[in-house]
């Protein structure tokens, strides 16, 4: 069975295996990064962070505090009390973590409360997350904390909810690369933020963390050669043909993906002997799919149904959207009804048939 | 206590949602109970499961507990929450661990969540704990991926009705460490737990599901005016109505769970029908009738309106009903018990699709089949 879907079996791909081995070796040398993500101030991220530091210290790990927030509440101060502190340097009134002192001290774990700081000009790095990057690279693990509103890619959302944005931000990619992300979902009165605003921020923080977790799960399953079967996130696949009413399927796919906070993909399996009109229609459909922010791919495969299903399995699809006229499109060549086969063989995946 | 205006108010339900034993749900709940007590709120522990965890037990100190009641069943004695005693005590807030617990036979109510509803009806606020895998809509998904059929389930609407759902997060790695150190369970039980439910990818997946459920719970509570600027307010024309086509086939249970779940996310109404040759189910063989009754009851328990339609031509009857009731999506199962059945099912779907020109037809996945193939 050879199906060209672009998905590779990591067990049989020496390059992927090598990359994996290298990644593992790198991970062994690198420190571990753990981020406590909150949706607003006052949810207790700092306490969680220092409390974990305190517990690790109690279990014999070498833990130091590299940065705490000014005016920490009593429970935080109590958690910090028994820990070594490497004070921040104050440069132009800004607290900067003392990377050189930490590297000289070489602790196992370093606590940095507050991730999104810009360092003043002339500092070792322009951003605090770059300081952390250097600590990680030198093998020191870091526990740190950040609020949703300080993530660069979330600024548009934050503006829509709060009407303001932050200038000192951390790229989403830094969060994505963390070994562990913990969402701190405790209630807060939110100092001047209304309950609905807090709800929206909470929801976004949970979904953002869920996406990070989903990518970690996917990576794990892929590495272990396990077919992605959990379906923790809804993933919709729209199958386009030249004559399908793709506009309706794509619009519905977009709406459904949004409601599920899921993913939308659209594929086309190439066919021979397309008429010029078909080609035009197909180009139009692909444009439509891009406009709906679907991930669009064109696949090759002699057996379209098998190609669609192989792609769906490789990408953890939970729902396949097809047009009713799928029957007509491929029947002549295969002498059966492709829709039947798709429904019969799409084990574990819902098939939604659209009228055309 | 004379019923005054305060008693007419329904209690508030707050749920501490987790993804496994040991993530700290009960710990967090008791911490909050202690905070309330310090603020002068009248809090009692209605039910608490210590599991021998020292740090958690310490948190009950100073909190009044309502003694449990003992129920005899088949010569053994079981302890359950004493709902009547809590009602008589009538605190402002009751702490009730393990929301999804099934009561021992002989108890007044089948499920603990039903006891909690009695407390809420009496105006008592309740703090409770539950793990995401107990949600009915996730039952098949969890079965297909772990091989574990969770028996103690709660209908999703029960969680949806909670006033507040808070996600208690701990990373799987931290949880596994706690388990290995014997914090969660005494060691022998820990070893067995590690072998079954507590595999890292399983925990990662459950954790993700819990986050998505907590996010979903927030979304369903957003006020309408907020909904508008978060893209939730769909125009009336886009409102979906989902129709589930039930049969006596066991796959109907998965159809009901999935259909209900999809309808919830789409904020759609959900209906279920069975097409019968005669007005009642009397003509069916007893086993088939029982299965069908079970499915209809199950659908109703998940707050799905059910109907038995009479008609000879199944597909025609369904599509006519769907059209009259403004249905936008029809959900059917895929039955694969035999080649002949599969052929009929496929012919039925084709017929439905041909007739329902103005609707979408979804063939719901047979997730158990996938599980067998994976052989896990």
Asked if the Cβ–Cβ distance from A196 to B362 is below 8 Å, we say no
* Whole-number pLDDT of residue A230: 76
Query: How high is the pLDDT of residue A335?
Result: 41
Mean pLDDT, to the nearest integer, of B174-200? 79
Tell whether the model's pLDDT for residue A26 goes beyond 90. no
Range in A136-140, A291-295, B229-233 the model is least confident about: B229-233
Of these ranges, B53-57, B220-224, B252-256, the one predicted with the greatest mean pLDDT is: B252-256
A178 has pLDDT over 90: yes
What values do phi and psi take at A267, rounded to 5?
-130, 160
Q: What is the ipTM of this complex?
A: 0.84
> Which of B208, B240, B315 to mutate to test binding with chain A, by most A CBs within 10 Å of its CB?
B208
pLDDT of B123 above 90: yes
More confident residue, A204 or A227: A204
CA distance A15 to chain B (A): 24
Q: What mean pLDDT do residues A256-277 have?
A: 89
pLDDT of residue B336 exceeding 90, the answer is: no
Measure CB to CB from residue B346 to each of A200, A217, A340 and give the nearest one: A340
Average pLDDT over residues A68-76: 86
pLDDT at B207 over 80: yes
Enumerate residues 167 to 206 of chain A having a beta carbon within 8 A of any beta carbon in chain B: 180-187, 196, 199-200, 202-203, 206
Q: How far apart, in whole angstroms, are the C-alpha atoms of residue B139 and residue B161?
A: 20
- Residue B201 with chain A: CB contacts under 8 Å: 217, 220-221, 224, 226, 230
pLDDT of residue B197: 73
Share of chain A above pLDDT 70, in %: 90
* A-to-B residue pairs, Cβ atoms closer than 8 angstroms: 156
Contact A232 B212 (CB under 8 A): yes
Q: What integer pLDDT is reported at residue A113 of this predicted model? A: 95
Q: What is the pLDDT of residues A307-318, one digit of tens each?
A: 999 999 989 899
Phi, psi of B221 (to 5 degrees): -100, -5
Average pLDDT estimate for A252-263: 91
Closest CA to B244 of B310, B311, B295, B316: B295
| pLDDT for B340 beyond 80 | no
pLDDT band for position B373 (cuts 50, 70, 90): very low
Contacts of B364 in chain A (CB under 8 A): 350
| Predicted pLDDT of residue A41 | 85
Query: In this structure, what are the phi and psi dihedrals at residue A110, rounded to the nearest 5 degrees?
Result: -125, 130
At B104 the pLDDT is 94
User: Given B221, B350, B370, which is nearest A348 (Cβ)?
Assistant: B370
| pLDDT reported for residue A239 | 95
Partners of A181 on chain B (C-beta within 8 Å) are 171
Chain B contact probe: residue of A185, A200, A219, A317 with most B CBs at under 10 A: A185
Q: Is the pLDDT of residue B121 over 80?
A: yes
The band of B343, judged by pLDDT with boundaries at 50, 70 and 90, is: low
Query: CA-nearest residue of chain A to B362?
Result: A352
Contact criterion met (CB < 8 Å) for A185 and B167? yes
pLDDT of residue A227: 64
In percent, the amount of chain B with pLDDT more than 70 equals 88
* pLDDT tens sequence across B276-323: 988 778 888 999 999 999 999 999 999 999 999 999 889 999 999 999
Edge to edge, the sheet with strand B329-333 lists A295-299, A263-269, A235-240, A319-323, A350-354, B360-364, B329-333, B241-245, B269-276, B305-310
Contact B330, B360 (CB under 8 A): yes
Q: For the segment A113-155, what is each residue's pLDDT rounded down to a tens digit?
A: 999 999 999 899 999 999 999 999 999 999 999 999 999 999 9
* Chain B residues whose beta carbon lies within 8 Å of the beta carbon of residue A224: 201
Provide the pLDDT confidence category of residue A326 given band limits of 50, 70 and 90: low
Q: pLDDT value at position A334?
A: 43
| Any B CB within 8 A of A252 CB | yes
B234 → chain A, closest CA residue: A255
Label residue B278 exposed, middle or buried (CB < 10 Å: 0-12, 13-18, 19+).
exposed
pLDDT of residue B33: 97
Instruction: Please say if the pLDDT value at position B147 is more than 60.
Output: yes
Q: Residue A279's pLDDT is what?
A: 87
Which residues face A183 on adjacent strands? Answer: A37
Mean pLDDT within B100-118: 96
Secondary structure of residue A305 in the 3-state scheme: helix
Q: Would you state the pLDDT for residue A217? A: 86
- CB contact under 8 Å between A217 and B204, yes or no, is yes
Would you put residue A4 in left (φ > 0), alpha (ψ -120 to 50) or beta?
A: beta
pTM: 0.86
Closest-CA residue of B relative to A232 is B209
pLDDT digits (tens, 9 = 90+) for B110-120: 999 999 999 99
Are A210 and B167 in contact (CB < 8 Å)?
no
Task: Please determine, for residue A228, whether its predicted confidence score (pLDDT) is greater than 60.
Answer: no
pLDDT > 90? residue B107: yes
Give pLDDT, residue A2: 35
Q: Is the CB of B215 less than 8 angstroms away from the CB of A203?
A: yes
Structure-model confidence comparison of residues B334 and B297, the more confident one? B297
């Amino acid at each position: 069975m050879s199906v060209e879907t672009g998905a590779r079996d990591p067990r049989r791909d020496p390059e992927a295996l090598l990359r994996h081995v290298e990644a593992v070796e790198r991970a062994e040398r690198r420190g571990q990064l753990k981020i406590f993500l909150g949706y607003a101030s006052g949810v207790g991220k700092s306490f969680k962070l220092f409390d974990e530091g305190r517990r690790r210290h109690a279990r014999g790990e070498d833990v130091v505090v590299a940065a705490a927030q000014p005016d920490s509440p009593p429970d935080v101060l109590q958690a910090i009390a028994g820990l070594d502190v490497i004070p921040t340097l104050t440069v132009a009134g800004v607290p900067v973590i003392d990377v050189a002192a930490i590297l000289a001290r070489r602790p196992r774990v370093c606590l940095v409360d507050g991730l999104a700081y810009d360092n003043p000009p002339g500092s070792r790095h322009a951003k605090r997350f770059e300081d952390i990057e250097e600590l990680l690279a030198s093998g020191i693990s870091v526990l740190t904390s950040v609020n949703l509103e300080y993530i660069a890619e979330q600024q548009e959302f934050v503006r829509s909810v709060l009407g303001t944005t932050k200038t000192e931000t951390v790229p989403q990619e830094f969060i994505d690369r963390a070994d562990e992300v913990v969402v701190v979902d405790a209630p807060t009165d939110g100092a001047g933020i209304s309950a609905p605003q807090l709800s929206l921020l909470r929801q976004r923080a949970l979904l953002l963390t869920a996406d990070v977790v989903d990518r970690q799960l996917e990576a794990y399953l892929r590495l272990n050669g396990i077919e992605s079967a959990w379906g923790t996130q809804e993933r919709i696949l729209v199958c386009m043909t030249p004559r399908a009413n793709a506009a309706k399927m794509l619009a519905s796919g977009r709406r459904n993906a949004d409601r599920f906070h899921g993913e939308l993909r659209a594929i086309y399996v190439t066919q021979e002997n397309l008429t010029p009109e078909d080609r035009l229609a197909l180009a139009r459909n692909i444009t439509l799919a891009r406009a709906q922010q679907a991930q669009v791919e064109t696949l090759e495969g002699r057996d379209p149904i098998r190609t669609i299903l192989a792609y769906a399995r490789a990408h953890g699809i939970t729902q396949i959207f097809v047009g009713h006229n799928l029957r007509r499109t491929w029947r002549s060549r295969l002498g059966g009804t492709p829709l039947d086969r798709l429904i019969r063989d799409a084990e574990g995946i819902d098939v939604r048939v659209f009228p055309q | 206590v004379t019923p005054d205006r305060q008693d007419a108010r329904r209690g508030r339900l707050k749920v501490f949602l987790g993804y496994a034993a040991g993530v700290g749900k009960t710990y967090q709940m008791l911490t909050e109970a202690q905070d309330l007590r310090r603020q002068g709120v009248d809090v009692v522990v209605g039910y608490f499961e210590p599991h021998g965890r020292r740090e958690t037990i310490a948190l009950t100190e100073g909190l009044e507990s309502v003694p449990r009641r003992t129920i005899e069943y088949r010569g053994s004695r079981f302890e359950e929450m004493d709902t009547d005693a809590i009602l008589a005590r009538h605190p402002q807030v009751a702490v009730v661990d393990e929301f999804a617990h099934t009561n021992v036979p002989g108890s007044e109510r089948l499920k603990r969540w039903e006891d909690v509803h009695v407390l809420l009806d009496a105006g008592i606020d309740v703090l409770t704990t539950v793990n995401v895998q107990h949600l009915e809509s996730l039952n098949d998904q969890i079965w297909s991926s772990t091989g574990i059929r969770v028996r103690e389930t709660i209908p999703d609407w029960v969680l949806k009705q909670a006033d507040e759902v808070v996600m208690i997060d701990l990373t799987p790695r931290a949880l596994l460490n706690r388990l290995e150190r014997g914090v969660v369970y005494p060691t022998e039980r820990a070893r067995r737990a590690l072998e079954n439910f507590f595999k890292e990818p399983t925990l990662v997946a459950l954790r993700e599901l819990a986050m998505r459920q907590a996010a979903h719970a927030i979304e369903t509570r957003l006020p309408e005016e907020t909904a508008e600027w978060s893209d939730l307010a769909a125009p009336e024309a886009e409102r979906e109505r989902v129709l589930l086509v039930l049969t006596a086939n066991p796959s109907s249970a998965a159809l009901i769970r999935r259909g209900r779940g999809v309808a919830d996310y789409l904020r759609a109404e959900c209906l279920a029908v069975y097409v019968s040759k005669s007005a009642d189910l009397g003509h069916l063989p007893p086993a088939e009738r029982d299965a069908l009754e079970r499915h209809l009851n199950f659908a109703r328990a998940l707050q799905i309106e059910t109907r038995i339609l009479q008609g000879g031509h199944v597909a025609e009857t369904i599509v006519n009903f769907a059209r009259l009731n403004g249905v936008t999506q029809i959900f059917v199962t895929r039955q694969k018990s035999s080649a002949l059945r599969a052929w009929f099912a496929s012919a039925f779907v084709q017929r439905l699709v041909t007739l329902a020109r103005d609707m979408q037809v979804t063939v719901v996945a047979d997730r158990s089949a996938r599980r067998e193939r994976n052989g896990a």
